[in-house]
Chain A
Amino acid sequence: MSIKVKLKYWILLLFFMGKSISVSAQNRMLSGKVTDLNSTLLSNVNISLRNGKNLILRSLYTNENGAYALLITDSLSKDPTLFLQATYLGFKKKQIQLKTNKSIYDFLLEIDPVELSEVNIKNKPTITKRGDTLSYSVNSFARNEDRSIGDVLKHLPGVIVGDDGKISFNGQPISNLFIGGDDLMGGRYGLATRSISKDLIKNIEVLKNHQPIKVLEDKILTNNIAMNLVLKDENSLKLSGEGMLGAGVPSQFDAALNLIALNKRLKMLNSAKTNNSGIDYRSDFKDLSSDNSLISNHFSKPEFLTSNGTTGAPDLPRKNYYDNKSAVINLNNLVNTKKGLQMRFNVQGFTDQNSLAHTSKVANYLPGDTIIFNERQTLTQKTNLINTGFSVSKNDYRVFFNNTLNFNVKHDQYLSPLNFNGLGFNQRLTNQAYDFSNNFSYIPKLKNSDIIILKWNVNYFSNPQRLFIDEGINPEVMNNNTKYNGLTQNVKIPVFFSDVSSNFIIPDALVKQNYQIGISNEFKQLNSNIRIFDTDPAGHNYPNDAGNALNWQSHKFYINASYSLKTDIWQLSLSSPLQLQLVRYNQPEYQIDKKTNQLSVGPYVNVNLKTGDENYINADLSYVNNMGDVNSVYRGSILTNYRTLQNNDADLQVKKNLRFGLKYHLEKSIDLAFSNIGINFSQIMASSIAFTLLSDNIQQTVLVPVKNNSSRLSVHTDFSKYFFLLKGKIELSANYSKLKTNLYLNNQLLPYFNNNLILNFGYDTKLANVISLNYNLAYGYTEGGQKNEEFKKFNFTTTRFDQYLTLTYSPTDQLSIEANAQQIINRQQENLTSRFFLMNSNLRYKLFNNRIDLGLEATNLFNTKNYTTSSISSSQLQERIYNIRGTMVILRVIYIL
């Protein structure tokens, strides 16, 4: 003990003693110090004064010098059984009996090797580990009004279900939906969430960092979030389901039947549906999975080159314009064998007919001239499709393999009478798609932590297209100025693709490494011809060129190394794919036989820096070097739509894309204030450009070898804050983007620009406990034109105001009423203004203990007939007017089997 400490101890003691004397002569001061066997003073030792029954009467702790001083009253000290006990964790407790005339009691404590040795507490095994899983009990989250598991999903914290059925957790789309641990739907899970009753499911599990392959568990941590529906009874042989019938005016029907059996061995979900009330079944079987780790990313299916027109669908809810008659059969069946093999069979058959009528006006702004295209079209689309999938897999802790075979056929026919610049004619477009693919993957278990993955993907795809027009349009271009009666454009792009690759992953190092090596081969043809019909009913070929009979091969050898590093503040990931691509294509009829080799690197860097508890900066930079496709080399003309003729006169297009993004996120969440500011820049350098010749009725486009750049700069900021006084949230956001591009129009290479500003305001509040209100106002301003100062008069603009209000009233759990209204004011070029107003309302009521569900839905209450919108793209201003569905009222009765 040092002299200094000793001194302190004595001063303290004197202080307490003096005090005790001054307060009462009757009281008694006990004091002392506590040390261990090495004479180290122990602080924070509990000193308790106890009586013979071991009851604590007083208690205190030693100070930093290991000293204590305890004042006890005279009446208390008369008890002869009193003792002092020193207790200190890690030491044996010690007791000293009080003596009448002694006031200093020092303790010497011995180390106790077993902590808490004197108390008998059982050691209990920890609760079962369940990986990184959040489990939600369906019972505690389901509400009375919920029917399907999809309804319950909407109430889970952090879960969103999109309009198309896609599920996201904390903003991230789930990789797949599993039912009782099995992937019954093969990623097309929209039907499952809509039709599986909440009563069949016990828990909903959200599996973070989900690794579906057991061999890779604990080896590769994915960022995937998967969802699993845990069955209430996995041995149940019960068949369940629901039936729905609906009818309404004007002549509306809606019917559906689902049959479901889910158990450990067998899972089936089969459904049949039909309606004409604006419900699109495509979302029932859309592939929603985002886990593509076993599928090649080097293959993209060739697109259809011909189309029935130039106008897309309106930006309104599909229900408001989808005038349909549809039916779907969707069969999903899965069997687990005793040997651990799993077999799955999925079939979807869909038939649909829908129509949409619209008029469109396209103004093409050229230097010194404006060319207007007017079109009026009534489009009828008939679709028939069958998707089939068969898969066999084994997934245990020794090996993983999977083989999935898919065969999909689709037949689309579009009938579209059209009036173009006053000329009326009929069009018939037939698009077919045959899609065959087989994906194989194999992952063996290795002794160490390293991983090898082998994959082989094979695809065959073909898309015969045929466009027939029953009028001799543009004879000066199409038939050497000779009048004719009609034409047919045929196109077919069959392609065979194979990709074999292997990954080698070192997951355990400080810097995680993933190396991939692979070979992909693509064999493609492009066959097309235009047939002109005049007096000879057999017709003749397009006189100006020989059509296309193009052969194409592309072979890639690729090596990709990616690294990632993470600390508490920094996060860095880096990858640099290295690729050697050999392309060979020939078109003998144009004396073309070319070989091209390209070695390219595509580096990507992403850095994330935390600058505070809630703030961070994120930056990313990428550079991609892309080689073109058959679309950029075919020489013979293709009529891509009734007024566009397209071909190429350049070597294979090479596009270099440089992209940079920076984002700063600021938040003070306790004040409910959030803000983001970001900037993005992207530049594309292309080796060729589309040379366009525009005349009054036709647009001819040739890809020519002229180097050109285009760039886009965009700035974004948003701010949101909850105001405690208003009891509501206000959101503000602003977006500005600036596009610079070049157009080669009628022999002039001209710089064009598009500037776009969007401002948003939103207010969300609760008026009373049973009424809520949501209001949104958006303002958009777009201008386009030529950058060149002297042509400034060619600037053209559109402005759009869009406001949206929703009111919800739900006085009880059985009843809810919602009304929403949308107003759009669209103005172009200062003078043309159009207004649009849409109001919908719906009511839901449940009865007979929720076995029956009634829904009354009224859409477009004010019977608005059409919707006008306009858009700007480089040199064009397009105004479109769509006919929409009028007032509809439908009553639906759902019965749970």
Chain B
Amino acid sequence: MKKTLLSQLLIIHLTSFVIAQTKKADPVLLNVTYQFIHINNLNDKEHPVKKDMVLSVGKTTSRYIAADVYNRSLAPVPKLLPSARVVSGQPVVAVNSGGGIVSESYYQWPLLNQLNIVAILGNKDYLVETKPEKINWEMGNETRKIGGISCQKAVGKYGGRTYIAWFAPDLPFQNGPFKLWGLPGLILEAEDSKKEVRFLFKDINKETDATRKVEPIGSAPIKITITDYNKAKKAYMLHPDTFMQSQLSVGAPKVSKVYETESNDKNAKSKKVIYNPIEL
């Protein structure tokens, strides 16, 4: 017992040390807001999922997260203990016509070829570390101004879709929204060739608070493997309520589903869902 405890402690210290060495939390330099539009039900193209997302860019890293979570984090939050997160009753899970909504945020380290996903499944945060294949971008010869900043077109394939991206050569960051990266300038706008997944530019501003870092918001996520994550994510999307019920303490009241938006709710009832994931 003593021995395992000691080794566990050691592992915690070692892992945090390693993370600190390789993936520094840079101060935030820029924040870009995108409107993310996703036709998640091919049978109901008029009612795509719409969400504002914020990309916070540091010197070597970036964080791409839902705007509401980002806005909430702007206040100086005295963090609650992780144990206080154990929910013990009558909760709901948010769903849309695609099933349980998995809220994912993405952390890119282009120089290290590292992309981490922090995902919220039910009432837990998980961390998945990945080393994705590089996107083979082809430079286009069109330019256009986005938010007053000159951008150049590039085309690349990722996750079974062909993306048309607009990057700003004057913003020397290789980052972008979602898992899109690797261009010689920040990606300010991108959409797939079928216009089913779109990241539209809304706003860009410089960070004025030097203390803000590109790091996960909220409690420290639990590190898991991509295989475990994909299995759990599939189950969660299929039966989010039963999944979340299982995370709750023994004897907790029933979890019920809530539709994310009202329009989505009505359409979900009337039309059969042909689920259209971002990554095919």
By a beta-carbon cutoff of 8 Å, the part of chain A in contact with chain B is 44, 46, 48, 53-59, 61, 87-90, 115-116, 118-127, 129-134, 139-141, 143, 154-161, 168, 170-172, 208-209, 221, 569, 571, 608, 610-616, 665, 669-672, 674, 718, 720-722, 724, 727-729, 731, 733, 760, 762, 764-766, 772, 774
Q: Is the CB of B148 within 8 A of A120?
A: yes
| Interface flag for B277 (CB, 8 Å) | no
**Are A170 and B87 CB-contacts (below 8 A) given A87-B169, A123-B205, A729-B246?**
yes
Q: Is the CB of B232 within 8 A of A670?
A: yes
Q: Is the CB of A168 within 8 A of B89?
A: yes
Identify which of B75, B185, B205, B258 contacts A129 (C-beta below 8 A): B75
Identify which of A156, A221, A569 contacts B92 (C-beta below 8 A): A156
| Closest chain B residue to A122, Cβ basis | B205
**Are A160 and B168 CB-contacts (below 8 A) given A87-B184, A132-B77, A170-B84?**
no
**Are A613 and B86 CB-contacts (below 8 A) given A157-B92, A669-B124, A727-B239?**
no
| Bound-complex Cα distance A130 to B75 (A) | 6
Identify which of A55, A140, A221, A760 contacts B250 (C-beta below 8 A): A760
| Bound-complex Cα distance A733 to B253 (A) | 17
| Interface flag for B130 (CB, 8 Å) | no
Q: Is the CB of A171 within 8 A of B88?
A: yes
Given contacts A132-B75, A669-B124, A724-B231, 15 further A-B contacts (CB under 8 A): A89-B172, A90-B59, A129-B74, A129-B76, A130-B75, A140-B260, A158-B91, A171-B89, A171-B249, A669-B247, A670-B228, A672-B247, A722-B246, A760-B250, A762-B250
Chain B residues with CB under 8 A of A90: 59
Q: Is the CB of B205 within 8 A of A172?
A: no
Min CB distance, B248 to chain A, in Å?
A: 8
| Bound-complex Cα distance A222 to B209 (A) | 27
Q: Is the CB of A121 within 8 A of B92?
A: no
The segment from B17-25, B36-44, B219-227 that touches chain A is B219-227
| Closest chain A residue to B205, Cβ basis | A124
Min CB distance, A467 to chain B, in Å?
A: 40
Identify which of A125, A156, A672 contacts B91 (C-beta below 8 A): A156
| Interface flag for B171 (CB, 8 Å) | yes
| Bound-complex Cα distance A118 to B171 (A) | 9
Min CB distance, A73 to chain B, in Å?
A: 14
| Closest chain B residue to A723, Cβ basis | B246
A-B contact pairs, 6 of them (CB 8 A): A118-B170, A127-B74, A140-B258, A154-B90, A613-B220, A727-B242
| Closest chain B residue to A729, Cβ basis | B246
Q: Is the CB of B172 within 8 A of A88?
A: yes
Min CB distance, B257 to chain A, in Å?
A: 9
| Closest chain B residue to A61, Cβ basis | B111
Q: Is the CB of A56 within 8 A of B152?
A: yes
Chain A residues with CB under 8 A of B169: 48, 54, 56, 87
Q: Is the CB of A172 within 8 A of B84?
A: yes
**Are A722 and B243 CB-contacts (below 8 A) given A56-B139, A160-B90?**
yes
| Bound-complex Cα distance A133 to B242 (A) | 28
List residues 115-137 of chain B with CB under 8 A from any CB of chain A: 121, 123-124, 126
Chain B residues with CB under 8 A of A120: 148-149
| Closest chain B residue to A221, Cβ basis | B78
**Are A569 and B9 CB-contacts (below 8 A) given A46-B184, A160-B90?**
yes
**Are A55 and B184 CB-contacts (below 8 A) given A121-B204, A727-B239?**
no
Among B78, B83, B123, B150, max chain A CB count under 10 A is at B83
| Interface flag for B217 (CB, 8 Å) | no
Q: Is the CB of B152 within 8 A of A159?
A: no
Chain A residues with CB under 8 A of B231: 724
10 pairs of A and B residues whose beta carbons are closest in the complex: A160-B89, A722-B246, A59-B184, A171-B88, A124-B205, A729-B246, A672-B246, A87-B172, A160-B90, A155-B92
| Closest chain B residue to A615, Cβ basis | B8
| Bound-complex Cα distance A177 to B227 (A) | 44
List residues 59-89 of chain B with CB under 8 A from any CB of chain A: 59, 71-72, 74-78, 80-89
| Closest chain B residue to A813, Cβ basis | B269
Chain B residues with CB under 8 A of A116: 29-30, 171, 206
Q: Is the CB of A764 within 8 A of B245?
A: yes
Chain A residues with CB under 8 A of B84: 170-172
**Are A569 and B71 CB-contacts (below 8 A) given A46-B172, A141-B258, A670-B232?**
no
Chain A residues with CB under 8 A of B250: 718, 720, 731, 733, 760, 762
Min CB distance, A220 to chain B, in Å?
A: 11
Chain B residues with CB under 8 A of A139: 262
Min CB distance, B146 to chain A, in Å?
A: 12
Q: Is the CB of A140 within 8 A of B206?
A: no
Q: Is the CB of B8 within 8 A of A728?
A: no
Q: Is the CB of B89 within 8 A of A134?
A: no
| Bound-complex Cα distance A221 to B204 (A) | 35
| Bound-complex Cα distance A201 to B151 (A) | 45
Chain A residues with CB under 8 A of B85: 170
| Closest chain A residue to B209, Cβ basis | A126
Chain A residues with CB under 8 A of B261: 140
Min CB distance, B13 to chain A, in Å?
A: 9
Chain B residues with CB under 8 A of A59: 139, 183-184
| Bound-complex Cα distance A765 to B243 (A) | 10
Min CB distance, B224 to chain A, in Å?
A: 5
| Interface flag for B191 (CB, 8 Å) | no
Chain B residues with CB under 8 A of A88: 172
| Bound-complex Cα distance A143 to B258 (A) | 8
Q: Is the CB of B258 within 8 A of A155?
A: yes
Min CB distance, B98 to chain A, in Å?
A: 15
Chain A residues with CB under 8 A of B12: 569, 610, 612-613
Identify which of B150, B208, B260 contacts A126 (C-beta below 8 A): B208
Q: Is the CB of A155 within 8 A of B256?
A: yes
| Bound-complex Cα distance A727 to B241 (A) | 11
| Closest chain B residue to A665, Cβ basis | B83
Chain A residues with CB under 8 A of B150: 54
Provide the B169-184 mask, 1 if CB < 8 A to any CB of A, else 0: 1111100000000011
| Closest chain B residue to A810, Cβ basis | B256
Chain A residues with CB under 8 A of B203: 124
| Interface flag for B235 (CB, 8 Å) | yes
Chain B residues with CB under 8 A of A614: 222
Q: Is the CB of B139 within 8 A of A671?
A: no
Min CB distance, B204 to chain A, in Å?
A: 6
| Bound-complex Cα distance A869 to B250 (A) | 25
Chain B residues with CB under 8 A of A671: 228, 232
**Are A729 and B72 CB-contacts (below 8 A) given A123-B208, A155-B256?**
no
Min CB distance, A569 to chain B, in Å?
A: 7
Min CB distance, A114 to chain B, in Å?
A: 11
Chain A residues with CB under 8 A of B91: 156-160
Among B169, B232, B261, max chain A CB count under 10 A is at B169
| Closest chain B residue to A764, Cβ basis | B245
| Bound-complex Cα distance A670 to B246 (A) | 11
| Closest chain A residue to B128, Cβ basis | A670
| Closest chain B residue to A719, Cβ basis | B250
Chain B residues with CB under 8 A of A48: 169, 184
**Are A611 and B8 CB-contacts (below 8 A) given A123-B205, A672-B246, A774-B254?**
yes
| Interface flag for B160 (CB, 8 Å) | no
| Bound-complex Cα distance A674 to B123 (A) | 14
Q: Is the CB of A722 within 8 A of B242?
A: yes
Q: Is the CB of A171 within 8 A of B86?
A: yes
Q: Is the CB of B83 within 8 A of A670?
A: no
| Closest chain A residue to B221, Cβ basis | A613
| Bound-complex Cα distance A129 to B235 (A) | 37
| Closest chain B residue to A154, Cβ basis | B90
| Bound-complex Cα distance A93 to B129 (A) | 33
Q: Is the CB of A209 within 8 A of B78?
A: yes
Chain B residues with CB under 8 A of A159: 89-91
Q: Is the CB of A127 within 8 A of B71?
A: yes
Min CB distance, A397 to chain B, in Å?
A: 18
Min CB distance, B117 to chain A, in Å?
A: 13
| Bound-complex Cα distance A615 to B83 (A) | 9
Identify which of B9, B168, B241 contacts A766 (C-beta below 8 A): B241
Q: Is the CB of A613 within 8 A of B141?
A: no
